[in-house]
Amino acid sequence: MNQNTKDLLKTIADLSSTPTGAFNIRSNGKAIQRQCSENIEIITKEDKTGIDITVKPNTKHESLHIPVVITESGINDLVYNDFEIGANSDIVIIAGCGIHNDGHAKSQHDGIHFFHIDKGAKVKYIEKHYGEGSGDGERELNPTTIVKMEENSYCEMEMVQIEGVNSTIRETTAYLAKGAKLIVIEKLMTHDNQIAHSNMTVYLNGEDSTVQVISRSVAKNDSEQVFHPTVVGNEKCRAHVQCDSIIMDKAKVRSVPEIAANNTDAQMVHEAAIGKINNDQLIKLQTFGMDEEEAEDIIVEAFLN
Amino acid sequence: MNQNTKDLLKTIADLSSTPTGAFNIRSNGKAIQRQCSENIEIITKEDKTGIDITVKPNTKHESLHIPVVITESGINDLVYNDFEIGANSDIVIIAGCGIHNDGHAKSQHDGIHFFHIDKGAKVKYIEKHYGEGSGDGERELNPTTIVKMEENSYCEMEMVQIEGVNSTIRETTAYLAKGAKLIVIEKLMTHDNQIAHSNMTVYLNGEDSTVQVISRSVAKNDSEQVFHPTVVGNEKCRAHVQCDSIIMDKAKVRSVPEIAANNTDAQMVHEAAIGKINNDQLIKLQTFGMDEEEAEDIIVEAFLN
C-alpha cells in the first residue's frame, strides 16, 4: 500500500491501520484486502463487479469498512455493492471514496449501493468523498444509493463531499415501510469549476414512517450545485427537509425541493435558504486578527460540521 | 344583464352597481359595457381578441375593473389583455372571472395578461376566480400573467380561486429591474375532482429587487394541486417564498418550489408545509357547539383570509 493510498484511507475512512471487524478495501479497480467476521459475510459478485454483503440477524455493535481509493490516472471504476442487513441488527458502515490523480486522464468511481434493511434493524452509514492530486485529470464520483427499509427499521446516512471532486451526480432513493425512520445528512463543498448534482427521492409508503433530510452546502469560486430532494408521502407520515447553502465568489446554487402529500395524514415541511456568508461573523473573527480568508474558512467549516 | 351575471360580478369583483372610474365588463365572449377615464384608456385590439389598457404616467388613486363572466354553457373564451402602466402612477386593478354553467358542455376562459409597469409605478392587482351552476359541464379557467417591472416599480398581486373551478393551469412570469418589488399572494381552494396547477417564475434581474410569494391552499375531497414557484436571483436581491397547504379527505398536494441563486448577494429563502387541518382548533370549535363540518369551514376560511 503506497503513501497516497494510506493518506486517502485516513481522509475518507479515518483508517490509519487495519480496521477491526469486517472490511473490504478496493484500490484502482481491485479488492486489495478483505476480512469477514462471524456475522458479516463479504462475497465477490459473479455476474458483475462488486460485492454482496450479508449481515446476520441480531448482529450488534459491529462495524464494516468498505473504502475505495484510486491513485492512478485514467481509472474508470464501476461497482455494484448489495447490502443485506439482517433483522434487529445494529451496525455502522463506513464507506467513502478518495481519488488521487496526478495525471492528465480522468479518474472516476461510480458506486451503486443497494441496501435492504430488514425489520427492526439499525444502520449508520457514513460516506466521505474526496479528491486531490497535481494533475489536470478530472476526479469524478457518482454515487447511486437505493435503500429499502422494512418495518421499524432505522437508517442514518451521512454523505459528505469534503473537496477536490470535479464532478458528481448523486442519486439517492429510499422506500420506507411502516414505522421506518430515515435520516439523511448531506454535506457538500464545491470549489473552482466543480459541478455537483444531488437528486433524492424518498417514498414514505408505510404508516408512521419518518424522514428527515438535512442538506448543507458551500459553493465557492465558479462552482455550481443543484439540489432536488423529493419526498412522497403515501401514508400517515412525517417529513422534514431542510436545505441550506452558502454561496461565495461567482458560484451558483439551485435548490428544487419537492414535497408530495398523497394522504391527509402526511405532514410534510420543507425549508431552503441560499445566502452569502454571515457578514457579522466575518467581521467578528477579523477583529480577532484573522484575515478574511481565514475567517471564511472557519465559518464554512463550522457551517458544514 | 341577467341575475346570474349580476351575482357573478358581485362575487368576483364586489360589484353591485356600475363601478366608478374605468371599467370593461366582458360577458359570454363579448365586451358588454365599457368606460374610460381621463387617465385610463381602454381600446379593443384589432389583431386578436382582447383590450389594450393604457394608464397615463402620474395617474393616482384610480381603479380599473375588468371582470369577465360566462353564464352560457359551451363558451370557449380566449382573451389577450395588455396593460401599459405609466411611470409613477398608483392604481388598483380588479379583474376576475366567474362562470355559471347550468349545461353539459364545458365553459372555459383563458386570460393572457401582459403588464408593463413603468418606473416608480405602483399597481395593486386583484383577481378572483369562481365557478357555479347546476350542469355537469366543466368550468375551466387558465390565467397566464406576464409582468415586466421597471426600476423601483411596485406590484402586489392577489390571485384567488374561491371555489367551483374544475380545472385551472395558472402560469405567472415576472421580470424585475433594479429596486422593483413584487408581492404575490395566491389563495386557492379545490374540491371534488378538481385539478389546479400553479407555475410561477420570477426573475430578479435588477439590483435590490425583491419578491415575496405567499401561497395558501386548501385541497378537499379528491382534488389535486401542484405548485411550482421558481425564483431566479441574477443580482443582489431578496426572495421569500412561502407555500402552505391544508390537505383534507382524499386530496393530493405537491409542492415543488425552486430557488436559484446566480449571484453571491442573492438571499433566497423558501418554506413549504403540507398538513391536515389543526386538530386542536377543530376540537376547540366543536366545544362551542359546532359540528365537525362547520368547524372545518371556519378554519379553512381563516387560513385563506
Give residue-wise pLDDT tens across range A89-110: 999 999 999 999 999 999 999 9
The pLDDT of residue B11 is 95
Report the C-alpha gap between A198 and A216 in whole angstroms. Answer: 12
**Overall average pLDDT of the B71-94 stretch:** 97
Minimal CA separation from A30 to chain B, in Å: 40
Would you call B267 helix, strand, or coil by DSSP? Answer: strand
Q: Is the pLDDT of residue B305 over 90?
A: no
- pLDDT of B187 higher than 90: yes
Q: Is A60 on the interface with B (CB under 8 A)?
A: no
Q: Which residues of chain A does B270 touch, with a Cβ-Cβ cutoff of 8 Å?
A: 255, 257, 270-273
Residue A241: pLDDT above 90? yes
pLDDT value at residue A1: 83
pLDDT of residue A235: 97
Exposure string over B236-268, b if 16+ CB within 10 A, otherwise e: bbbbbbbbbbbbbeebbbbbbbbbbbbbbebbb
Reduced 3-state DSSP string for B92-158: EEECCEEEECCCCCCEEEEEEEEEEECCCCEEEEEEEEEEECCCCCCEEEEEEEEEEECCCCEEEEE
pLDDT of A186 reads 97
Predicted pLDDT at B147: 98
Over residues B16-28, the mean pLDDT reads: 93
The CA distance from A149 to A171, in Å, is 17
Domain ranges of chain A: 3-278
What is the three-class DSSP state of B237? strand
Query: Residue B272: closest CA among chain A residues belongs to which residue?
Result: A270
**What is residue A35's predicted lDDT score, i.e. its pLDDT?**
96
In this prediction, residues A47-55 reach a mean pLDDT of: 97
**Residues B142-151: what's their mean pLDDT?**
98
- Please list every residue in chain A whose beta carbon sits closer than 8 Å to the beta carbon of residue B276: 264-265, 267
Confidence band, pLDDT 50/70/90 cuts, at residue B35: very high
From A136's Cα to the closest Cα of chain B, the distance in A is 27
How sure is the predictor about B106, in pLDDT bands with cuts at 50, 70 and 90? very high
Q: Is residue B118's pLDDT more than 90? A: yes
Residue B83 near residue B55, CB atoms below 8 Å: yes
Q: B259: distance to nearest CA of chain A, Å?
A: 5
Question: For B168-186, what is each residue's pLDDT tens digit?
Answer: 999 999 999 999 999 999 9
B273–A266 C-beta distance less than 8 A: no
Please report residues of A whose CB lies closer than 8 A to that of B259: 254-255, 272, 274
The pairing of beta strand B195-204 with beta strand B224-233 = parallel
What's the confidence (pLDDT) of residue A305? 85
Residue B116 confidence (pLDDT): 98
Q: Cα-atom radius of gyration of chain B, to the nearest Å?
A: 20
Alpha-carbon dihedral angle through residues B97, B102, B103, B109, given to the nearest 10 degrees: 0
Query: Are the beta carbons of A253 and B265 separated by less than 8 Å?
Result: no
In this prediction, residue B139 has a pLDDT band, given cuts at 50, 70 and 90, of very high
Instruction: Give pLDDT tens digits for A246-286.
Output: 999 999 999 999 999 999 999 999 999 999 998 888 899 99
DSSP H or E run through B224: strand B224-233
- Pick from A19-23, A80-84, A192-196: least confident: A19-23
Which 220-239 residues of chain B touch chain A by CB within 8 A?
233
Q: Among residues of chain B, what percentage have pLDDT more than 90?
A: 93
Mean pLDDT of the B69-93 span: 97
Residue A268: closest CA among chain B residues belongs to which residue? Answer: B274
Distance CA B135, CA B256 (A): 34
Per-residue pLDDT reduced to its tens digit, B39-55: 999 999 999 999 999 99
Give the pLDDT confidence of A204-225 residue by residue, as tens digits.
Answer: 999 999 999 999 999 999 999 9
pLDDT for the residue numbered B96: 93
Q: What DSSP element (H or E) covers B284?
A: helix B279-287
Q: State percent of chain A over pLDDT 70.
A: 100
Nearest to A265 among B264, B266, B276 (CB): B276
Q: What's the pLDDT score for residue A278?
A: 86
Of B93, B96, B75, which Cα lies nearest the Cα of B83?
Answer: B93
Cβ-defined contact of B260 to A258 (cutoff 8 Å):
no
What mean pLDDT comes out for the span B156-177?
A: 98
Task: Kindly provide the b/e burial profile for residues B123-146, where b requires at least 16 CB atoms within 10 angstroms of the residue's own CB.
Answer: bbbbbbbbbbbeeebbbbbbbbbe
Q: How confident is the model at residue B33 (pLDDT cuts 50, 70, 90)?
A: very high
Q: Express each pLDDT in B211-226 by its tens digit.
A: 999 999 999 999 999 9
Q: Does the structure show a pLDDT above 90 at A74?
A: yes
Residues within 8 A of B (CB atoms), A 250-279 only: 250-262, 264-276
Return the pLDDT at B244. 95
pLDDT in tens, B262-302: 999 999 999 999 999 988 888 999 998 899 999 999 999 98
What pLDDT is recorded for position B1?
Answer: 83
- The yes-or-no verdict on residue A143 having pLDDT over 90 is yes
